[in-house]
Amino acid sequence: MYSIAAKSFKKYSGIELSQEEQYLEMTKNTDKQFSNIAACVEEYEKESKTVTLKRLKKYAEDGVKYTGKKLKTVAEDIVVTPIEQEKTSAELFFVVQQREKYKNNFRWGLCYEKGEEKGLFQRYSSALSLKNTYHNKRL
């Protein structure tokens, strides 16, 4: 009795099923649909009624609609774009490394010169522009 009540109120509860539960429900419903189709085929083989063929076709069409709808909702869930991690530029990596290395004695001018020697900071005209870019989180 409780399971019947739970099923009847499930659509009103607002609680979403987990992905595993959704797949399980879809599999059970699809299995039931194929069982109905198989039963209709057996009935048709015994009696050769056109009504049975119509019912068989309807079961198959309903099954196609159901699985298509479920596949679409699953595909929409998967299509969500993953959050990309920001890549650390070589310049930012170098500055962070220098700041950690020379914690209390860090000098932007010296960092700028060492970076230039390594081929970094070509787009900056001075240590001051490098410093401003770093603090504005645009490095």
CA–CA dist 131, 122 (Å, integer): 14
**In this predicted structure, what is the pLDDT of residue 63?**
81
Share of the chain above pLDDT 90, in %: 22
Domain map of the chain by residue range? 17-75, 90-136
- DSSP H helices in the chain: 2-13, 19-47, 50-78, 90-101, 108-117, 127-135
Structure tokens at 100: 């950690």
Q: What is the pLDDT of residues 46-61, one digit of tens each?
A: 877 777 778 878 888 8
Our measurement of the distance from residue 100's CA atom to the centroid of its chain's CA atoms, rounded to an integer in Å, reads: 37
